[in-house]
């Protein structure tokens, strides 16, 4: 499967950017979960289609009281290229569940690559090609990493950076996974990964959802690669991170790490 010829650097031609849709009809889908992001959503989708005109977008809105869902519907209706779709969820039960809904939607429609991206502008659409280049180069899962050489943080409070780096170090040690930014939410999956890792059994809903899926991919033997990205603190709206979400991640990672070690000892 190829999504177009890999290209390095930022000097990318319009024809190359349109090659996100591959020569044999392969398609890529960006899943964007939203809750109260009406001010950010038009900008992020506009930037995405300016950078990658051929990319398709699925907005998964959790009944945002600020009208984000209606904004998304308007963007879809006004897009002459018919690249935007919207799913409205009546429940708000975590980021992971929203992504799972989006993954199922994309898999049912035969997308070859499914991408996670935040609506708040923290993930630069202009750098999405780095993840797709990694997929084209053979990766099964490409993770946009803040913590590999070339990765950057912009305007992030030191406290949150400390917590993020600590969480990644903890997860790496507990699981034995060689992923530096296993909590990152900017990533691209080949559909073969999502087909194999049993999405129906995924229970993690919040912060640990990203750890869960990356860990499943690693354990299944997939080629997981990290590429450097610039992560920028949101300018509009509020972070959805909470202490309860962090606590869930801490406990679940400890459980997964223990299970893995017991399995290596032949104990189940």
CATH code at position 107: 3.90.550.10
- The residue behind tokens 């690559």 is 113
Supply the pLDDT for residue 7. Answer: 37
* 38 φ, ψ (degrees, to nearest 5): -65, -30
Number of domains the chain contains = 1
Supply the pLDDT for residue 256. Answer: 63
Supply the pLDDT for residue 12. Answer: 46
Which domain, by its residues, includes 139?
14-264
| Residue 9 in domain | no
| Residue 2 in domain | no
| Residue 5 in domain | no
**For the chain, which residues score pLDDT lower than 70?**
1-25, 206, 235-250, 253-258, 260-268
Supply the pLDDT for residue 218. Answer: 94
| Residue of 139, 84, 144, 88 lying closest to 116 (CA atoms) | 144
| Residue 7 in domain | no
Packing angle, helices 41-51 and 128-136, rounded to 10: 50
| Residue 64 in domain | yes
Q: How far apart are CA 41 and CA 46, in angstroms?
A: 8
Supply the pLDDT for residue 246. Answer: 60
For the segment 25-69, what is each residue's pLDDT rounded down to a tens digit?
Answer: 678 999 999 999 999 999 999 999 999 998 999 999 999 999 999
| Residue 8 in domain | no
| Residue 1 in domain | no
Supply the pLDDT for residue 8. Answer: 39
Which residue(s) pair with 84 in the sheet?
57
| Residue 151 in domain | yes
Q: In the chain, what is the straight-line distance between the N-terminal and C-terminal CA atoms, in Å? A: 37
């Amino acid at each position: 499967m190829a999504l177009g010829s890999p290209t390095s650097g930022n000097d990318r031609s319009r024809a190359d950017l349109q090659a996100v849709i591959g020569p044999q009809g392969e398609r890529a889908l960006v899943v964007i979960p939203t809750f109260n992001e009406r001010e950010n959503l038009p900008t992020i989708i506009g930037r995405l289609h300016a950078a990658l005109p051929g990319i398709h977008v699925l907005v998964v809105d959790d009944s945002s009281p600020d009208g984000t869902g209606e904004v998304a519907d308007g963007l879809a209706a006004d897009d002459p290229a018919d690249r935007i779709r919207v799913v409205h969820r009546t429940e708000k039960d975590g980021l992971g569940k929203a992504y799972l809904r989006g993954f199922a939607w994309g898999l049912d429609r035969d997308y070859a690559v499914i991408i996670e991206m935040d609506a708040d502008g923290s993930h630069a659409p202009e750098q999405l090609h780095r993840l797709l280049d990694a997929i084209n180069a053979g990766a099964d899962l490409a993770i946009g990493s803040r913590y590999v050489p070339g990765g950057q943080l912009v305007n992030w409070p030191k406290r949150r950076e400390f917590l993020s780096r600590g969480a990644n170090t903890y997860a790496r040690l507990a699981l034995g996974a060689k992923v530096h930014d296993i909590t990152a939410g900017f990533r691209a999956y080949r559909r073969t990964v999502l087909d194999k890792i049993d999405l129906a059994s995924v229970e993690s809903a919040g912060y640990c959802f990203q750890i869960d899926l990356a860990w499943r991919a690693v354990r299944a033997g997939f080629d997981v690669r990290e590429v450097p990205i610039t992560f920028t603190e949101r300018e509009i709206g509020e972070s959805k991170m909470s202490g309860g979400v962090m606590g869930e991640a801490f406990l679940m990672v400890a459980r997964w790490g223990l299970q893995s070690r017991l399995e290596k000892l032949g104990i189940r």
